[in-house]
Structure 1
Amino acid sequence: MPELTITRVFDAPRELVYAAWTEPDRLASWLGPQGFAAAAVTLDPRPGGRWRACIRSPEGEELWMSGAYRETSAPERLVFTFAWDDPGVETLVTVTFADLGGKTEMTFTQTGFPTAAERDDHQAGWNSSFADLTGFIRGEDDR
């Protein structure tokens, strides 16, 4: 099955990058491709906890996604399932946060795609989201 791996380095401590994934207001600030807005985010970041989010396209289309947390090891690692409400194919996401002396290397891996085309769609969306995450981290780190 096709797999997606994206690695980014953020100029911020890993506690902040981890919090950007596990606190609803922070996640809502960057989730979704550029031009999309997070309309709703609920998180229960503990093993067995559920998450759900809605992103809204510039045209107003709402796309809902959800999953369950399998592992939460702050601030080193998150493992959770991911599925769009439609068509609902469930994938597994693993995000690791490595401390690089004040910077953070985030490695994002998503597995379980039924096709390479679906993987490629997610790659474009996540890369765009992570560009927003970079901007969010810069703003948070300046506080």
Structure 2
Amino acid sequence: MTTPTESPKRRTFTFERTYPATLDDVWALWTTKDGFESWWGPEGFSVKVHELDARPGGVLRYDMMASAPETIAFMKQAGMPTSTPSSLTFTEVKPQRRIGYQHTVDFIPGVAPYTASSVVELRAEGGNVRMTVTCDAMHSEEWTQRASAGWESQLRKLDPRFQR
């Protein structure tokens, strides 16, 4: 079993998107059950939220489920479960501006569980909202690339929602 190593300065990866939306609309995606379930998880996955307490120290508990046939087949081939309970703990919540959280990474075969931090920043720009998501790198370059691809995929789920 490998254990991630901590470095003095953690590596991160960042995504920026601009949506023709209000801060209320984008905030609700992160802080409500319906909002979170509508987009979280890469394409081919869905989530079922069991608890969402968006405050510092509050938790989000959900199941991440492979839902597309090709995703189910990939997960089985990789020796990973097709449904995984997941949780994150909110570390910072500044309404309509910033959310920080730590996500428990406990689903990778052969890797000891660890936490990865993320920060979401929202900024109104005219009639748009600029969303910046900064995430800790994972324990290896391969898994960092997988996490980055997963973020790209789940953010694509938001694009049709905000088309004008």
Which band: TM-score by shorter chain?
0.7 to 0.9
2:49/2:60 contact within 8 Å kept: no
For residues 11 and 93 of structure 1, what CA distance do their matches in structure 2 show?
A: 23
* Counterpart check, 1:105 vs 2:130: yes
Tell me by how many angstroms 1:126 deviates: 0.8
CA radius of gyration, larger in:
2
* Counterpart check, 1:32 vs 2:41: yes
2:105/2:116 contact within 8 Å kept: no
Q: SS state of the match for residue 158, structure 2?
A: helix
Tell me by how many angstroms 1:35 deviates: 1.9
Q: Any stretches of 5+ residues in structure 1 without a counterpart?
A: none
Tell me by how many angstroms 1:73 deviates: 0.3
1:3/1:119 contact within 8 Å kept: no
1:91/1:111 contact within 8 Å kept: yes
Moved over 3 A (4+): none
Among 6, 15, 19, the alignment partner of 1:10 is 19
Tell me by how many angstroms 1:107 deviates: 0.3
Q: SS state of the match for residue 90, structure 1?
A: strand
Q: SS state of the match for residue 145, structure 2?
A: helix
| Aligned residues with identical type, % of pairs | 26
For residues 73 and 119 of structure 1, what CA distance do their matches in structure 2 show?
A: 27
Partner of 1:42: 51
* Counterpart check, 1:70 vs 2:123: no
Q: Any stretches of 5+ residues in structure 2 without a counterpart?
A: 1-9, 73-80
TM-score by length of 1: 0.88
TM-score by length of 2: 0.77
Partner of 1:23: 32
More moved, 68-77 vs 117-126: 117-126
Cα root mean square deviation, aligned: 1.8
2:119/2:134 contact within 8 Å kept: yes
State how many pairs are aligned. 139
Quickly say closer, same or farther: Cα 1:41–1:5, change in 2 above 3 A. Answer: farther
